[in-house]
Amino acid sequence: MVNGQHEVNLNLNVRGLPVSATLGINEKSNQLLADGKKIYKLGLGQSPFPVPESIVRELQNNAHQKDYLPVRGLQALRDAVAKYYRRTQDLAFLGENILIGPGSKELMFILQLVYYGDLVIPTPSWVSYAPQAHIVGRHVHWLRTSAANKWLLTPEELEKHCQGDPSKPRIVILNYPNNPTGCSYSEQQLQDLAVVARKYHIIMLSDEIYGELNFSGAHRSIACHYPEGTIIASGLSKWAGAGGWRLGTFAFPAELKWLLDAMAVVASETFTATSAPIQYAAVKAFQGGSCLEGYLLQSRRILKSLSDRIWKQLQSAGVSVAQPDGAFYMFPDFEPLRERLSDRGIHNGEELCDRLLQETGVAILPGNCFGRPQEELTARLAFVDFDGAKVLAAAEQVPADQALDDEFLNQYCGKVITAIQLVCDWLK
């Protein structure tokens, strides 16, 4: 009776929501592995690389830190994050503009909780943006993108959405390099989007958690062009390999300090403060230095080489796929093979991914998990199923002016290469 009553009283915004798709596919893959199945884990987007040793040592040195830290974050860390943005992108942040949380995911949730506007998301997008909005009770508006434009938001689409209700408060999420596509925006595209954002007083939440994994190392924030209305989200999970550490950062313009203040109030009543040892260690991460730069250089080099190889494999199999600019994702579209797949009883992305997992052991996620139409034959793959520590050490032995060739990738990223070949062979 008690359990039944709890079910009746469950918040209607939560009822019916599944577990996050990326976490779900990871748990399913792990269960299949435990059952003795051969599984290639291309579902969860977790960095394959280890946390840099200098940051690990800093965590060890601060394991004794036990006190509650300020709600907004350790001052030394907030200052280090602000200096990081000033150093890397010449953005005029101060420590008082920074909010630290237990993962950027939690900070995004609190932002939607305290802000009264709708959430506007280009599709495809990361799996948790929209469910968070549903939990809070916010309206979600999806903005169309196309494969022809590398699945990126255009200023025309943003203008079209805003002009129907020019004064409506809204948060627009921009994520790049993008999860799930790996694609990023050019300087001109960011400038053009900034013009529209300024015209309609949009709050732009720029999720730049993969910024340091731009293959060219030339990531630029839209805050460079629209500083007064952009909040930059980042953290340690993707570029520093520290997903399980759960440390996220929000950088606010002075004009949005009222939002930072409101979020800090909610933080004080929910997570209280982010783990103290993690915050002390994170100072080292945001201070940078030659060791961390070397780590990032090799990470980008490995991911770009692997991305290029996979992209060519899929293209040769007849799959349409935008070439990524960063991160460790790809968003293949199997539409050119629809007739062939239909003959095998496969009519949408979910059926495609289910059959792939059953018949090849390759775990990827269907496009509808990322806001795409149910009937599409799109999917996301995360090319991360390799030993990051081992491949980093091997890459350091290859001169920087030499490519990481197919022999290198076969030896050190063999599971990913095999998985993609299995998909290509299965398609044929």
Domain ranges of the chain: 2-50+291-427, 53-287
Is pLDDT above 60 for 414? yes
Sign of CA pseudo-dihedral 233, 108, 151, 319: positive
pTM, to two decimals: 0.92
Is pLDDT above 60 for 3? no
Topology of domain 2-50+291-427, CATH: Aspartate Aminotransferase, domain 1 (3.90.1150)
pLDDT at 23: 58
pLDDT at 130: 87
pLDDT tens by residue, 191-247? 999 999 999 999 999 999 999 999 999 999 999 999 999 999 999 999 999 999 999
pLDDT at 428: 87
Average of per-residue pLDDT across 158-171: 95
Average of per-residue pLDDT across 307-328: 97
Is pLDDT above 70 for 14? no
Average of per-residue pLDDT across 375-404: 94
Mean pLDDT lowest among 33-47, 347-361, 406-420: 33-47
Is pLDDT above 50 for 137? yes
Characterize 25-35 residue by residue with b for buried, 16 or more Cβ atoms within 10 angstroms of its Cβ, and e for exposed: bbeebeebeee
Please identify, in words, the CATH class of the domain defined by 53-287: alpha beta
pLDDT tens by residue, 336-369? 999 999 999 999 999 999 999 989 999 999 999 8
Is pLDDT above 90 for 25? no
Residues in the chain: 428
| Contact partners, residue 163, CB within 8 Å, separation at least 6 | none
Could you check whether the bond before residue 102 is cis, i.e. omega within 30 degrees of 0? Answer: no
Percentage of the residues of the chain whose pLDDT score is greater than 90 = 84
The Cα 168–Cα 115 span in angstroms is 12
The Cα 341–Cα 334 span in angstroms is 9
Is pLDDT above 50 for 89? yes
Is pLDDT above 80 for 45? yes
User: How many C-beta neighbours within 10 Å does residue 209 have?
Assistant: 25
Is pLDDT above 60 for 181? yes
Average of per-residue pLDDT across 140-156: 94
Q: How far is CA 362 from CA 41, 42, 237, 423, in A?
A: 7, 7, 24, 7
pLDDT at 44: 83
Average of per-residue pLDDT across 107-115: 95
Is pLDDT above 80 for 148? yes
Q: Which pLDDT band, with edges at 50, 70 and 90, does 15 fall under?
A: low
pLDDT at 6: 43
**CA-closest candidate to residue 250, choices 59, 51, 52, 115:** 115
User: How many C-beta neighbours within 10 Å does residue 330 have?
Assistant: 26
What average pLDDT does the chain have?
92
pLDDT at 26: 64
DSSP string, 139-181: -EEEEP--GGGTTPPPHHHHHHHHHTSTT--EEEEEESS-TTT
Is pLDDT above 60 for 8? no
Is pLDDT above 50 for 279? yes
pLDDT at 22: 57
